[in-house]
Structure 1
């Protein structure tokens, strides 16, 4: 029986435009306990710690406000992990984004996409 190999998403699957000279990118710290966060996951900044987690539909600690998209996979299961966030002046494809488990319907996705647009990360439907 043949072996089936699976690959995670590449940034080129969802990132369609970013500004020159890495202007769109910031180095970030993904908070311990966030688990394995995949490339293309919308991220939010927790106000108390200044660290990032996958954006959630609800909350009161900052995790409910998307501020960027994770560039590459990060494993923050048991310790904080350094990552790269696409934080401004970019266009991304909705088809490649990896929404967290609480972003469960079109209304929640639209709200998150609006939050990304507010920081200059435009989510395109057909890209």
Structure 2
């Protein structure tokens, strides 16, 4: 019998959030981005979400975690729901850049913690 693989959903990622949707924000996503649920994101120079790129000059600052998958490969999107503050997210549901180092990941998790986003091992 073949194994079935189910993609992560919001329940796999978000373990706690504040009442009344306080933890969530909606933002624009830069053109050319295709981001999956759980992607750790930063802001570009125009204030749009993009995938975290810690190797960028000056380094990116992690500002949240996407709560939905979003495809902005052909046009800017203005409906990206992301977890921005006062929440707990599961570490194994986060999507990091493939070339991130352990030190960069630790720095990004500290940046998320400064925003009230705690990264915890999921149960």
Q: Secondary structure at the residue paired with 1:66?
A: coil
- Distance in structure 2 (CA, Å) of the matches to 1:43 and 1:7: 23
Q: Secondary structure at the residue paired with 1:26?
A: strand
TM-score, normalised to structure 2, is 0.88
**Counterpart residue number, 2:37:** 39
TM-superposition CA deviations, 1:60-84 (whole Å, max 9, x none): 47x7100000000000111112211
How far is the alpha carbon of 1:86 from its aligned partner?
A: 0.4
- Distance in structure 1 (CA, Å) of the matches to 2:17 and 2:40: 16
Q: Secondary structure at the residue paired with 2:15?
A: strand
* Residue 112 of structure 2 corresponds to residue 113 of structure 1: no
* Residue 14 of structure 2 corresponds to residue 15 of structure 1: yes
- Distance in structure 1 (CA, Å) of the matches to 2:25 and 2:12: 20
Query: 1:28 and 1:57, CA in 2 relative to 1: closer, same or farther beyond 3 A?
Result: same
Count of residues paired in the alignment: 122
- Distance in structure 1 (CA, Å) of the matches to 2:121 and 2:5: 25
How far is the alpha carbon of 1:98 from its aligned partner?
A: 0.7
Query: 1:126 and 1:9, CA in 2 relative to 1: closer, same or farther beyond 3 A?
Result: closer
Long gaps (5+) in structure 2: none
Alignment of structure 1 residues 37-116 onto 2, 5 Å = 37-46=35-44, 48-60=45-57, 64-81=60-77, 82-103=79-100, 105-116=101-112
TM-score, normalised to structure 1, is 0.85
- Distance in structure 1 (CA, Å) of the matches to 2:15 and 2:114: 18
